Amino acid sequence: MQLPTLNIGKLHAKLPFVQGGMAIRLSLSKLAGAVAREGGIGLIAATALPLDELRREIRAARKLAPEGIIGINIMVAASSFAETVKTAIEEKIDLVVAGAGFSRDVFDWCKEAATEFVPIVSSAKLARIAERLGASAVIVEGAEAGGHLGTSRSVKDIVPEVLAAVKIPVIGAGAIVNGYDVAAMLRLGAAGVQIGSRFAASTESAASDVMKEAYVRASKPEDIIIIQSTVGLPAQAIRTPFSEAILQDTVPRPTVCTNCLKHCTRRFCLSQALIRAQQGDGETGLIFAGSNMLRIPSILPVKDIVAKMVTEAQAVRSYLPWRELLPQVPRWTGKLRSMPIRQIAVERVALTWEDTCSALADTRAELADKRAEIREKRRGLVAKRAAVWKRVHARIGAWKQAMVKGEEPLGTIG
Ligand SMILES: Cc1cc2nc3c(=O)[nH]c(=O)nc-3n(C[C@H](O)[C@H](O)[C@H](O)COP(=O)(O)O)c2cc1C
């Protein structure tokens, strides 16, 4: 079964994949262009990029994917937020994605330029406000995501709430590392997924080799930690000597400051720490990563990552109609036996324990509802039958009495 296209305003991406913007200088033209060329949406991380560099990157990405969809991602918390968005609009960017904060002005700038604007939100309330202000779609980021976090709740819990609150497309972000995760998010009702960590660990990502090694090495839950970032939000990162020092509050305070953030706690210099990691300093660099970086075992080219995700997602999605039939197929084990072995094998791998449990719970709940409905109907019928018989007996009784007394019968029975 084909994956759905992702429609954001006038943009139609062949695949429902958005490559998350990753600052500083992790997602540049090479990565964004590669994802766009494969049919997804590529985002250039514009935070902290000088404006002439941003222009060059947008043009280079366009060259790599002339037919593809290219956007920018920018942190609202950045001091250069307005100039950066306006520069990208001048370069005829397809869409602007903004996270780490909420700006009302950007809606007007994008509306005037007919550029799609997609804010990153972590609650139904913010999604509703964004829709009212004119957002073309919303990206819902959960606590699993890499980088700055706006919530401690799972994306799987927030997406259904946002879907109930807005009509614009909802894109889920956090913990999407393979096609099975994609299928699960689409099954929740999301129109697409935003993927960060998996693409950070790609050949085309501009992360240093040191960063990529750290991504592959991360394999235990304790390798990923949450620090307090200087923008005033928690952020998810790989455990390194530097992120440990942030946790212990032993990082020396910065002596120079370029005021790159609108509000900064100045406990350390966020942009310098990110730049150091991007340039290969694993000791004093800060390496953002999602909680599911643990499930990413190797660095692969974008083409292979996308192809694998599509195959896996399609295998799961093709299985769904069968699963949805479950409540109506009483002897489903017989059905299972007749399924091709390969498909069963694929599905066994595809279904996470959680998925299986929730499907079974849904089925059980539906069956219980159906049983209750049938019981209710049966009770109604029994009561009706009893009432009819009561009336019949009363009539027979009255008729018998009338016969005994030699009176005229009282009409028909019934
Ligand atoms: C290394 C890294 C850097 C990131 N930088 C940014 C950023 O600059 N702006 C932003 O909005 N999100 C940023 N994110 C979040 C991603 O765009 C994406 O939403 C998130 O990583 C999704 O979760 P996942 O990593 O589990 O796929 C970053 C994530 C990572 C891993």
Residue 220 lies in a domain: no
Which is the closest atom of ligand 1 to the Cα of 289?
A: 31
Contacts of 60 (CB under 8 A, 6+ apart): 28, 29, 30, 33
Q: Which residue among 257, 276, 302 closes a domain?
A: 302
Residues 298 and 398 in one domain: no
Residues 41 and 61 in one domain: yes
pLDDT of 173:
98
Q: What is the mean pLDDT of residues 84-106?
A: 95
Residue 275 lies in a domain: no
pLDDT of 52:
98
Which is the closest atom of ligand 1 to the Cα of 23?
A: 8
Q: Is the peptide bond before 224 cis (omega within 30 degrees of 0)?
A: no
Which is the closest atom of ligand 1 to the Cα of 99?
A: 11
Which residue, judged by its Cα, is nearest atom 21 of ligand 1?
A: 196
Q: What are 369's two structure tokens?
A: 């509802």
Residues 330 and 190 in one domain: no
Residue 287 lies in a domain: no
Which of helix, strand or coil describes residue 299?
A: coil
Q: Are 268 and 251 in contact (CB under 8 A)?
A: yes
Domain count, the chain: 3
Residues 350 and 372 in one domain: no
Q: Which of 288, 292, 309 to mutate to test the pocket of ligand 1 (most atoms within 8 A of CB)?
A: 288
Residue 206 lies in a domain: yes
**Domain with 79 in it:** 6-214+292-302
Which is the closest atom of ligand 1 to the Cα of 199?
A: 27
Residue 272 lies in a domain: no
The one-letter amino acid at 1: M
Q: What's the sign of the alpha-carbon dihedral 13, 309, 171, 149?
A: negative
The one-letter amino acid at 395: R
Residues 400 and 328 in one domain: no
The one-letter amino acid at 9: G
Residues 298 and 411 in one domain: no
Residue 414 lies in a domain: yes
Residues 179 and 118 in one domain: yes
- Cα 199 to averaged position of ligand 1 atoms, centre (Å): 10
For the chain, give the percent of residues with pLDDT over 70.
Answer: 87
pLDDT of 353:
57
Contacts of 341 (CB under 8 A, 6+ apart): none
Q: Are strands 147-148 and 234-238 parallel, antiparallel or unpaired?
A: antiparallel
Residues with CB under 6 A from ligand 1: 20-23, 26, 45, 47, 73, 75, 99-100, 120, 141, 144-147, 173-176, 194-197, 200, 288-290, 292
In 28-168, where does DSSP find H-type helix?
A: 29-37, 51-64, 81-90, 105-113, 124-133, 155-165
Residues 203 and 334 in one domain: no
- Cα 19 to averaged position of ligand 1 atoms, centre (Å): 9
Between CA 168 and CA 369 the distance in angstroms is 32
Residue in the structure block whose two tokens are 């694929």? 346
Q: What is the mean pLDDT of residues 189-213?
A: 97
Instruction: Report the CATH number that the domain containing residue 158 is assigned in CATH.
Output: 3.20.20.70
For the chain, give the percent of residues with pLDDT over 90.
Answer: 79
Residues 29 and 91 in one domain: yes
Which residue, judged by its Cα, is nearest atom 1 of ligand 1?
A: 288
Residues 41 and 91 in one domain: yes
Residue 235 lies in a domain: no
Residues 124 and 83 in one domain: yes
Q: How confident is the model at residue 322 (pLDDT cuts 50, 70, 90)?
A: very low
Residue 11 lies in a domain: yes
pTM > 0.85: yes or no: no
Among residues 109, 90, 110, which one has the least CA distance to residue 11? 110
Which residue, judged by its Cα, is nearest atom 19 of ligand 1?
A: 20
Q: What is the mean pLDDT of residues 390-409?
A: 84
pLDDT of 108:
96
- Cα 392 to averaged position of ligand 1 atoms, centre (Å): 76
In tens, the pLDDT along 101-154 reads 889 999 999 999 999 999 999 999 999 999 999 999 999 999 999 999 999 999
Residues 19 and 165 in one domain: yes
Q: What is the mean pLDDT of residues 151-164?
A: 97
